[in-house]
Amino acid sequence: MIRAGANFALKAVTSPSYTGDLLLDTGRLGAQKPDNGTTQQAGGTVGTLTPATLPANSDTNAAYSEVGYLYLAPGAYRDETFTAASGDRASGDCILPNPADPLDFGYLSDVPVGGKYGCDIGNKSALAFGRFIPYRFKIAPDTVTPACSGVFTYFGQDGFTTRFSLAAQNSGAGATKNYQGVFARFDLTDHAAYRFAVSSATPLPTGAALAASATAPSGGPWSEGLATVEARHLVVRPSDKAGITPVQVVAEPLDADGVTTAASETVSVADTPLRYGRLQIGNAHGSELLDLPVPLVAQYWDGSMWKTNTEDNCSSINPKAVAFSGWTGNLGACETSFALTPAVLSGGRGGLALRRPGSGNNGSVILSLATGNSCVGAATPVSAAAVEEISWFGSAGNPAGRATFGIYKTPLIDRRERY
């Protein structure tokens, strides 16, 4: 394998008596086998081959600007002047090219035919070079879209999206247009192949780390050495609460041939803000004969205090994420439960409703985002495993609420009408 634009050794071995220069005929270069063989991808762009002049019997640095294979037809490097200078060409003492048969390469013969040799000096047979691979990849950053309402992303939320383009280039930063199809050896859907990381310019709090999204990157296919990519990212929640943290993602994509970028390159034009969140479950009380609304409030730590996350219009709270515990009074396990309908937050607020337990079932229960059992739609406890669906709130440190039935029928203790 040879990197596009990198030097490789090329030597034309001829009779020691010949000391001339062979000139390149670019019309005899091809990107597919002359016999249209199917062992390599057909077609493609013919790049630039250097040198244009190849001294005989001398090691020379050559380079080719494209990806794939390069095929040299007979006479691609040749000298027509040697026999012209001797007069053999003009006098017909050597074999001239046959204009009626371009596949008759007798004019390159070093074996006498009818007592004559070929007039031209050059390669007698087709030659194949390669496989050529890109010299490097280059990333062009584009947009970054936060995961929640297009405004921010929670730590632990999968995931904010970066959109960027990936180009396969030669050593001169030119596009290698043949990096597509079978020659494109970078899988655009392989998250690990991008080798994403957080930029050193935007360090993360202790315990936080960039992790793979559950959604594979999308984009492509490769077209003339260029692909557009969208990749989702997840930053694991830090060990302790943290203020709003800007983050920028970099990458060093690596294909199956070892092609990568010159260094880590940014995949987004702007930082995206991360917030450390929690969900507050409020206290609620009312009659055991009525359904009981339970308030939910999304909050984030701003560095000094918890604030209502009024920009959270994305969180959906599955009732199965709420654990029931600490039953008291005449309220038995799962004598009250949530309906199956999730609570979708708007402006950081929402709510779930507990079903009325019925006459005589007064008492209370603690509601929390934690491991344990949940009561949803039936009288049988189920595991509160759905807390994983809202991992950005964590499973600990969220304020629990107490729902109490039967302490009074209305939130009003006394009502007076004055005229």
Both 67 and 89 in a single domain? yes
Both 266 and 286 in a single domain? no
Both 15 and 69 in a single domain? yes
Both 80 and 183 in a single domain? no
Question: Who contacts 150 (Cβ-Cβ below 8 Å, separation ≥6)?
Answer: none
- Whether the predicted pLDDT of 387 surpasses 90: no
| Domain boundary residue, one of 132, 163, 180 | 132
Q: Is residue 158 part of a domain?
A: yes
Please tell me the distance from the alpha carbon of residue 300 to that of residue 25, in angstroms, as a whole number.
Answer: 69
Q: By residue range, what is the domain housing residue 251?
A: 135-275
Q: Residue 46's pLDDT is what?
A: 93
What's the pLDDT band for 17 if we cut at 50, 70, 90? confident
Q: Residue 38's pLDDT is what?
A: 47
pTM score, two decimals?
0.86
| Domain boundary residue, one of 105, 132, 159 | 132
- Whether the predicted pLDDT of 35 surpasses 70: no
- Whether the predicted pLDDT of 406 surpasses 50: yes
193-225 pLDDT tens trace:
999 999 999 999 999 999 999 999 999 899 999
Measured torsion, CA atoms of residues 236, 237, 238, 244, in degrees rounded to the nearest 10:
110
Q: Is residue 236 part of a domain?
A: yes
Q: Is residue 410 part of a domain?
A: no
Q: Is residue 417 part of a domain?
A: no
Both 271 and 140 in a single domain? yes
Q: Residue 299's pLDDT is what?
A: 98
Six-digit token pair at 19? 């000391």
Both 229 and 306 in a single domain? no
Both 267 and 144 in a single domain? yes
For the chain, how many structural domains are there in total?
A: 3
Secondary structure (3-state) at 193: helix
77-136 pLDDT tens trace:
999 998 888 888 999 999 998 888 888 888 998 888 888 999 999 999 888 888 999 999
Q: Is residue 419 part of a domain?
A: no
Q: Is residue 175 part of a domain?
A: yes
- Cα–Cα distances in angstroms (integers) from residue 319 to residues 30, 157, 189, 226, 374, in the given order: 65, 19, 34, 45, 8
Q: Which of 176, 68, 63 is closest to 132 using CA atoms?
A: 68
Across the range 280-307, mean pLDDT stands at 96
Both 370 and 326 in a single domain? yes
Both 139 and 264 in a single domain? yes
Query: Identity (one letter) of the amino acid at 192?
Result: A
Confirm if 107 and 119 have CB atoms less than 8 A apart: yes
Both 253 and 305 in a single domain? no
Q: Which is more confident, 52 or 18? A: 52
Gyration radius of the chain's alpha carbons: 37
123-171 pLDDT tens trace:
998 888 889 999 999 999 999 999 999 999 999 999 899 999 999 999 9
| Domain boundary residue, one of 132, 163, 183 | 132
Both 361 and 309 in a single domain? yes
Q: Is residue 217 part of a domain?
A: yes
